[in-house]
């Protein structure tokens, strides 16, 4: 896939940011984050409506919503840990694919690393004052289909905030034709989790060029098969285990097996899962709260314990761990600084554990509930949504399918580990 940049400009907010909002301080959780961008790509087929007008409206509607997302038009001042919200503008890039059509890259038609060309920035290009907080790329294909690639600094937002922005931009693009309810983002996480209360270093930059991404589709049938394997564990439950739990447990087992295949022995492991704290705290944070508002819950296993971590054991173990984390969310705001430490300690503890030699760390993040497939910018709803090649080893990102009954898993591994994973007997059944 050959992508040619056609134009590059900066879009300023339609109204200036008020002076009292021109300095946006980071929260403690923002400071802890990896120096990288949260990225996503939405794909739309050829539209028979006013394609030129809709494309022009993308630029106009972006300017209209930037006053609500005012940090996105600013620049990060890393020495002082704040965003200068002086309306420097969000980057807006238009590009053209010159050698293929949209349907040639949908799903398994392209290597994930090639999708990075549909993004206007490298995933690891963050935290420098020269980098925009928000950068979008509108890529046109030969068939008149388009891809909207979005990069937003992880220093400012998490995946849920990313979904909030996409929903707001799509609603603004539709204007009066939108049937979605009014969406009001807020940027007040620093008030709840002030960074000055804690002294810690941020996580290193993520510019690892040795990471390879494998996309694996778990359709409705595959998930039903996994549920059948543990149905005896849930005979007295009104709710079957979730799709995300099924896929996370299956992949965790496969990754533990492939790690054993590489090293010839089991190693201690740390399995990490991210839990969204919005609407779960007391008082509840709005679901439109923007920032990094996740609790990192972990399962730590010794080398001996890792030997017995099969699918049937992992499902209840990971499921109960998430349930406990959801329960802990109620304490985060109601227990003062002790509650805040629940968030901080979860991240710092995981970082310290991963720094130990010989630890096999696996991290799962669930993107399946952020309604990317509902994002209609005037072209209809997307036919596919994706991430790209993310330079973080042993990261598994779980996304919804268009049919809303499956999971697409994006597994990011070191290039020396990917062959062991692909040769795993259960993984081969899914990718063959």
Report DSSP letters for 251-319, one per residue: HHHHHHHHHHHHHSS---EEEEEEEE-TTTSSSPPPTTB-S--EEEEEEEE-HHHHHT--HHHHHHHHH
For the annotated catalytic residues, the residue numbers are 154, 376
Task: Give the strands of the sheet with 211-218, arranged side by side.
Answer: 211-218, 407-414, 395-400, 360-366, 269-276, 294-301
Q: In this predicted structure, what is the pLDDT of residue 429?
A: 87
CATH class as words, domain 211-368+390-431: alpha beta
Q: Which residue has the tokens 């200036």?
A: 16
Closest among 240, 199, 282, 255 to 395, alpha carbons compared: 255
CA 130 → CA 6, 74, 88, 94, distances in Å?
A: 21, 10, 10, 20
The rounded distance, in Å, linking the Cα atoms of 281 and 88 is 34
CATH 3.30.559.10 location in the chain: 3-197, 211-368+390-431
Give the relative orientation of helices 311-334 and 336-354 as an angle to the nearest 10 degrees. 140
Angle at 165 between CA 392 and CA 206, to 5 degrees: 15
**Residue numbers in the chain where pLDDT is lower than 50:** none
Rg (CA), the chain: 21
Determine how many CB atoms are found less than 10 A away from the CB of residue 262.
16
Give the total residue count for the chain. Answer: 432
Omega prior to 203 cis, within 30 of 0: no
The rounded distance, in Å, linking the Cα atoms of 369 and 380 is 20
Q: In this predicted structure, what is the pLDDT of residue 351?
A: 87
CA 39 → CA 141, 293, 319, 426, distances in Å?
A: 20, 17, 27, 29
pLDDT tens track for 39-70: 999 999 987 566 666 788 999 999 999 999 99
Contacts of 355 (CB under 8 A, 6+ apart): none
* Cβ contact 145:46 at 8 Å: yes
Give the relative orientation of helices 243-263 and 220-229 as an angle to the nearest 10 degrees. 80
- Cα 245–chain centre separation: 17
CATH topology assigned to domain 3-197: Chloramphenicol Acetyltransferase (3.30.559)
Q: In this predicted structure, what is the pLDDT of residue 75?
A: 98
Q: Which residues of 312-346 are buried (b: 16+ CB within 10 A; e: fewer)?
A: eebbeebbebbeebeebbebbbeeeeebbbbbbeb
Q: In this predicted structure, what is the pLDDT of residue 327?
A: 95
The rounded distance, in Å, linking the Cα atoms of 47 and 44 is 8
**Residue 175 corresponds to which tokens in the numbers above?**
């204007």
């Amino acid at each position: 896939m050959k992508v040619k940049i056609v134009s590059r400009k900066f879009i300023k907010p339609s109204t200036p940011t008020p002076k009292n909002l021109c300095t946006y301080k980071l929260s403690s959780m923002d400071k802890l984050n990896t120096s990288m961008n949260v990225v996503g790509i939405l794909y739309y087929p050829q539209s028979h409506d006013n394609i030129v007008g809709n494309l022009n409206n993308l630029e106009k509607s972006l300017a209209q919503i930037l006053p609500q997302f005012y940090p996105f038009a600013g620049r990060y001042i890393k020495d002082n840990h704040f965003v200068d919200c002086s309306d420097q503008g969000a980057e807006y890039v238009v590009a053209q694919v010159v050698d293929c059509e949209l349907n040639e890259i949908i799903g398994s038609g392209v290597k994930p690393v090639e999708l990075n060309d549909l993004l206007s920035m490298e995933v690891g290009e963050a935290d420098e004052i020269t980098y925009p907080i928000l950068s979008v790329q509108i890529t046109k294909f030969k068939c008149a289909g388009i891809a909207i690639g979005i990069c937003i600094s992880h220093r400012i937002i998490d995946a849920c905030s990313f979904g909030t922005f996409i929903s707001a931009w799509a609603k603004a693009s539709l204007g009066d034709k939108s049937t979605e309810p009014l969406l009001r983002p807020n940027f007040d996480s620093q008030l709840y989790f002030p960074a000055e209360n804690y002294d810690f270093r941020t996580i290193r930059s993520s510019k690892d060029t040795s990471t390879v991404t494998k996309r694996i589709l778990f359709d409705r049938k595959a998930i039903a098969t996994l549920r059948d394997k543990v149905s005896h564990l849930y005979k007295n439950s009104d709710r079957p285990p979730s799709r995300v739990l099924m896929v996370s447990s299956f992949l965790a087992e496969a990754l533990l097996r492939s790690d054993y295949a590489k090293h010839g022995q089991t190693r201690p492991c740390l399995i990490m899962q991210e839990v969204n704290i919005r609407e779960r705290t007391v008082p509840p944070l709005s679901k439109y709260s923007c920032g990094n508002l996740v609790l990192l819950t972990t399962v730590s296993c010794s080398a001996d314990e890792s030997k017995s971590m099969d699918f049937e054991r992992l499902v209840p173990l990971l499921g109960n761990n998430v349930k406990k984390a959801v329960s802990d969310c109620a304490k985060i705001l109601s227990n003062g600084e002790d509650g805040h430490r629940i968030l901080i300690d979860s991240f710092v503890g995981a970082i310290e554990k991963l720094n130990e030699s010989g630890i096999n760390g696996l991290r799962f993040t669930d993107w399946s509930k952020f309604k990317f497939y509902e994002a209609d910018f005037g072209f209809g709803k997307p036919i596919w949504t994706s991430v790209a090649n993310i330079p973080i080893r042993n990261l598994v990102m779980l996304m919804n399918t268009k049919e809303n009954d499956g999971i697409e898993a994006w597994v990011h591994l070191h290039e020396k580990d990917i062959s062991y994973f692909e040769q795993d007997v259960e993984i081969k059944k899914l990718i063959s």
